[in-house]
Structure 1
Amino acid sequence: MRTAAEPIEVRRPSAVRALTVLLGLTAAATVVVELLNWWYAPEQEFGLAVRTGWALLRSLGFLVLIGHVDRGRAAAKPFGLILAVTTVFAVGRLVVPRAGVPPLPGLLGFGLLTALCVAVVALLYRSDVVGGHLVRHRKGLVVSGGRLSWQELVPKRPAVTGWLLTARVAALTYSPLMLVPALVAGGSILSGRLSAVPAVLFWLAAGVAVSYLVLFCTAFLLRGRPWARKLLVVITLGALAVDLPLCWWLLGLDGLIRDGVPLLAAAALALFSLHRAAARTR
């Protein structure tokens, strides 16, 4: 017999439980596919190690996303979208070798990982049950009536659209997507290409600067400041103007495809999200 003081366990909807399992499988698949790519790579060079390490960090991102889903956080949708898209690019650029045919296990693993990422995005954005679950905000300490309590922090800013949140999350990936190829280019310095030192240092500094600019800009973007949207467009174009030429010069066409295209995809998603958010407010 249940007493009045005994807590009642709320069972999560089946779609939410399925999403949690799917995210766990995607995290595991990311690790397995990256290890396969590393094993079958003809040369375990410095650049491959950096790109593989960055891709492996995404498995931790999926674990963080599981926590957001369990807590019903509204930010889980845009976070899951950009994580799935950039994971496909990050892993896909390592499957194809510089020369020759990709190994069959790597191709099969990449196909499975892509299917899992598509399924994650479909559940996040197409399931009404999941959408109804992801409505909460983070919790924090709140002073109310002279008492300190731990409760949900409802934002004081006006409600923002999911497209603005997506633009913010996409823009937050600019910095790591710039720093990874900069670190790869740093490997050429170790091999004696000292003329690349100024360019690599500038690349690293630009990647760090972009992270601070995006944090500043998106803080006002979510508060509905019109100038913040224009500033984010400028930051996006500036990041592309720095990253793509340096990828071409220091890493060649192979580096431009492997490291430039993921940033281009994130930038396109951010700009598209800004456009959709602006269209909704008209």
Structure 2
Amino acid sequence: MNGGGRSFADLVRFERPPPPTPASRRLRRLLLLTAIATVAVDVINLQYSAEAGFGLGVRTFWAVLRAIGFLFLMREVRYGRLTARPLGLILAVTTVFASARLVQPKEGDFLPRLPVVAGLVVVVALCSAVVWQLFRSPGIDEHLTRRKPRRVVAPWVLTARVAALSYSALMFVPCAVALATLFDTPRLRPEIAVPLVVSWFVLGLVIGLVAGIISFVTLFGHGWARLLLALISAFVLLVQPTLCYLLLGVDGLIRDGTPMVIAALVCLYGLARSRESPPRESPSA
């Protein structure tokens, strides 16, 4: 029995990935290697870390989650989805900074130990290779564009949505680190620091919910949704670095503020580019 041109069998049918290509196999192997290297480098960083506590635990947990993200990205590549590109870009950038958060110099020295530096260089090289493959490899481009999407959406709109979906997580991690400093040596007086940390946490919840909804609406080509998402991006671009500097200092501004700045700029760039290539109507079945 058909309803709306689609049968019940079509609705419950599992999506099958397209046949793999040599390029997609190479990229998936690279992603698996990157996931393993991310965990290995985090373990090395912990071995040489002189700092312990809740803040370091949060940053370590966040860094390890990147390995799971790369495994999910492997699935996106396997199914030939265009979302693999923006997801891979955001994941690669935040992975580099997540690993850099754990890098600490030797006591009384400017640079960390050699194994730590070597591990970070490996992570940067692997993440750079992933981004290059996703955006510059003709074989991957053919693999990601050969299947017909259910809804035709401008690729830059997908890029903006994926970047916006990362806002909440990028706010929660430094917020948790700032919470730990309240029980140790806060940079600000408690009557100022506590309301700021609470406000940071609430903002993370609200931004995550609103950005998720608005970025979904942008997939349908609504100009007002694109404008609202741009305003949200500009807001986090200003607020996140400010809170990082006030509660975590210059170190927190660089380690925790920079990923948000990059994600927000990617979202704004994607929104700007999507105006040049608006989504086309899906062909009728």
Q: TM-score, normalization: structure 2?
A: 0.84
Indicate the larger mover: 253-262 or 272-281: 272-281
Give 1:267's aligned residue. 264
Q: Partner of 1:145 in structure 2?
A: none
Deviation at 1:98, TM superposition (A): 8.8
Give the percent of matched residue pairs that are identical in Structure 1 and Structure 2: 46
Aligned equivalent of 1:72? 80
Q: Any gaps of 5 or more consecutive residues in structure 2?
A: 1-17, 280-285
- Of stretches 20-29 and 80-89 in structure 1, the one that deviates more from structure 2 is 80-89
Alignment of 1:243-258 (within 5 A): 243-258=240-255
Q: 1:105 to 1:224 in 2, by over 3 A?
A: same
Q: 1:211 to 1:11 in 2, by over 3 A?
A: closer
Corresponding residue number in structure 1 for 2:124: 114
- What is the aligned partner in structure 2 of residue 48 from structure 1? 56
Counterpart CA distance in 2 for 1:164 and 1:232 is 11
Q: Which residue of 2 aligns with 1:146?
A: none
1:162-204 Cα offsets, whole Å, 9 max, x none, are 1111111111111111110110011022337543222111100
Residue 30 of structure 2 aligns with which residue? 22
Q: Structure 1: 5+ residue runs without aligned partners?
A: 1-9, 138-151
Q: Deviations over 1:185-241 (max 9, x none)?
A: 110223375432221111000001001111111111111011111111110121233
Work out whether residues 77 and 125 of structure 1, in 8 Å CA contact, stay in contact via their aligned partners in 2.
Answer: yes
* Residue matched to 2:222: 225
Residue from 34, 37, 44 that aligns with 1:36? 44
Kindly report the root-mean-square deviation, in angstroms, between the aligned alpha carbons of the 2 structures: 2.1
1:154 aligned to 2:150?
Answer: yes
Structure 1 counterpart of 2:140, from 127, 130, 145:
130
| 1:273 to 1:25, Cα distance in 2 relative to 1, 3 A | same
Q: CA deviation at 1:160?
A: 1.7
**1:71 touches 1:136 (CA, 8 Å); kept in 2?**
no
How far apart are the structure 2 equivalents of 1:240 and 1:81?
Answer: 18
Q: Secondary structure at the match of 2:182?
A: helix
8 A contact 2:49–2:104 mirrored in 1:
no
TM-score by length of 1: 0.84
In structure 1, the residue matched to 2:14 is none
- The letter of the residue matching 1:91 is S
Distance 1:75 1:273 in 2: 13
Query: What SS does the corresponding residue of 1:44 show, helix, strand or coil?
Result: coil
The DSSP-based 3-state class of the residue aligned with 1:43 is coil
Which residue of 196, 206, 209 corresponds with 1:212? Answer: 209
CA–CA separation in structure 2 for the residues paired with 1:89 and 1:192: 24
Whole-angstrom distance in 2 between the partners of 1:153 and 1:261 = 34
d(CA) in 2 for partners of 1:266 and 1:35? 26
**What are the Cα deviations for residues 82-140 of structure 1, in whole angstroms up to 9, with x where unaligned?**
11111112212322449632111111111111111111111111122212222488xxx
Tell me the number of residue pairs that the alignment of Structure 1 and Structure 2 aligns: 256
2-structure distance, mates of 1:74, 1:269: 16
Give the 5 Å matches for 1:169-208: 169-191=162-184, 194-195=190-191, 196-208=193-205
Asked if the contact 1:167/1:271 (under 8 Å) is kept, the reply is yes
Q: 1:45 to 1:75 in 2, by over 3 A?
A: same
Cα–Cα, structure 1 residues 237 and 97, in superposed 2: closer, same or farther, change >3 Å?
farther
C-alpha contact 1:181 1:259 (8 A) present in aligned 2:
yes
